[in-house]
Amino acid sequence: MNTTALSIGGFRARLKVRPSDLIFIAIFVVLILVSSLVSETFLTSRNLLNISRQIVTNGLISIGMLVVILTGGVDLSVGCTVALCGIMATGLQSSMAMPAAIGVALAVGLVIGGANGFLIARFKLQPFIVTLATMGVVRGATYVFSETPKSPVDPLFRSLLGGGFIGRMPTAPLIMIAFYILAWFFLNRTIPGRAIEAIGGNEEAVRLAGINVKAHLILAYMICGFFASTAGILLSSRLGIAQPSFGVGFELDAIAAVVIGGGIMGGGGGGAVGTLFGVLSLGVIDNLLNQFNVQSYYQQIVKGMIILAAVLPRRKK
């Protein structure tokens, strides 16, 4: 983070951040300042580690949401994918080995994303409608699946992933950071990553350049499903159990993080760096309001305000 403060210019150029998007850094800095002033416990390492673990779920989902928003779409089915994959990763451990259960859960995430992408790309349906429909289907499937009896999960499942530590750092945030670096590299340095970003700006231009738009759309939604699934697995591993009511409203937090970080609904803006800042901002707000025992209703009001504050300066003239 130090380099950010020292040389915004070079950093900006290399990470392809627009000046108008720097609002997310401003929001974040203000939040940190306010937090450390009003709360004695905020800047303790215990609290910071706590925040880092709390943001993992939204952090992972937001990567996938970013990829989809860059194509000009949106994915409302991520919240229930978190629930279904979390439940499968824990529930299936009674009938198969832990790695196999995780593998199945990841595959289910990919299939849900692939189905979304296929419907959107092949039949030119609106992403909002398609993923609204799959949201219902997957949520229902989660409740159906959760009715089968469960046995306790493999203790290794908790200690390795969601509850594990490497040195003093919890494992899950490290996994998340690694995925952000990967996502940044994918979006800025690889051919499919650039194609995905271009589709959101001018789909016809991409098609006329001889690029397979449909395949890239499907890929984008599969990536989104994969990250929702990963988030579900890590969440259930941290808590040791999964419930079918997991993940309600998570899609909105992810959209909020992407948008605070410079993402534009409909494509044409947003990136991994900004999204990470968006996730951090939302995490800090939650943490702070929790410390002061503010009711969650007020938390939602504050979050809504912050989203508006992030979007207003970037509106089209």
By CB under 8 A, tell whether 192 contacts another protein.
Answer: yes
Strand duo 169-170 + 165-166: pairing: antiparallel
CB 20 to another protein: min, Å: 12
Based on the shown chain and the rule CB under 8 A, indicate whether residue 198 belongs to the binding site for another protein: yes
Q: Which two tokens stand for residue 285?
A: 């707000």
Binding status of residue 21 toward another protein by CB under 8 A: no
Q: What is the CA radius of gyration of the chain?
A: 19
Binding region for another protein (CB under 8 A) out of 32-40, 140-148, 155-163, 202-210: 202-210
- Candidate residues 37, 208, 308, 312; the one interacting with another protein per rule CB under 8 A: 208
Any contact of residue 217 with another protein (CB under 8 A)? Answer: no
Provide, rounded to whole angstroms, the least separation between the CB of residue 21 and another protein.
11
- List all residues 6 or more positions away from 27 whose beta carbon is below 8 Å from its beta carbon: 260, 277, 281, 306, 309, 310
Distance in angstroms (rounded) separating the CA atoms of residues 295 and 301: 10
124 is a site residue for another protein (CB under 8 A): no
Contact flag: residue 189 with another protein (CB under 8 A):
yes
Question: Site for another protein (CB under 8 A): which residue of 1, 37, 166, 191?
Answer: 191
Name which position in 210, 295, 308, 312 contacts another protein (CB under 8 A).
210
Which H helix or E strand runs over 166?
A: strand 165-166
Asked if 65 and 251 touch (Cβ cutoff 8 Å), the reply is yes
Q: Can residue 194 be called a binding residue for another protein (CB under 8 A)? A: yes
Query: In a 10 Å sphere around its CB, with 0-12 CB exposed, 13-18 middle and 19+ buried, how is residue 274 labelled?
Result: buried
Give residues in contact with another protein (CB under 8 A). Answer: 189-192, 194-195, 197-198, 201-202, 204-211, 268-269
